[in-house]
Amino acid sequence: MDTNSKYIHPIISALLIVLVLSAYALASDSDSFKLGFGGTPDDKGIPGPWKLKVNKGNAGAAVVTEDGASILHIKCVDSSFSLESELPLSPADYPYVIWTWKAVRLPKAGDVRKKGHDDQALQLLVAFDNKKVLSYVWDSNAPEGTTAREFVMWPFSIEIAVIVVQPGTADTGKWVTDTRNIYEDYKKFFNEQPPRVTGVRIQSNTQHTKDIAEGYVRDIIFSSAPQ
């Protein structure tokens, strides 16, 4: 996670704007909302409602097809970039986030615990409307369950809770599904009731370690119950 102010501020500020999503981009029913990658692409090939934000270097992000499904392919070479989507919903009604991802290559020296090595191949961030963020990461070296706090003090006063949900290379090359209770995670890390969710971000960065990362992400689902 890169909290350098000149990189992160535009990303987080975009996440904190609540907009109505296009019907084609957000599939929903009474029990869940699904953000996929099958929307109409923009001139950079990024499907709506996702928006590409480049913090450093060049972005390697594209939609590919696997078993008839549109999935996101990310390749990050000494760079930092993200895809973001606004998503206004209540964490009390949809407390679970379920997503499937596959890491192909991790930045070897990446470690959320070490200054100057805080690079992760894949990250999923959930932003709330009080400028607090939950960040779930696939870290190269930190053990599962490792947590960290990061702060961006100016001009937004953003607080980020980082949680390692996938550690190391044991499962690289495999599709892995993770489920988190964002309602309970928010209460645990911020010691208060969570406000509304405003946005989601997928990020990859290797600019600190000057390395290469690569991976894939499938649909992201917010649900009333674990799936």
pLDDT of residue 151: 84
Integer angstrom CA distances of residue 125 from 87, 89, 164, 170: 12, 15, 12, 23
- Which residue bears the tokens 């590919």? 64
Q: Which domain holds residue 188?
A: 5-223
* AA letter at 40: T
pLDDT of residue 28: 54
Q: Domain count of the chain?
A: 1
With the C-alpha atoms ordered 14, 119, 153, 220, is the resulting torsion angle positive or negative? positive
Query: What CATH number corresponds to the domain at position 107?
Result: 2.60.120.260
pLDDT along the chain (227 residues), means of 10: 43 38 47 94 93 95 95 97 95 98 97 93 97 97 95 79 97 98 98 97 96 97 93
CB 78 within 8 A of CB 2: no
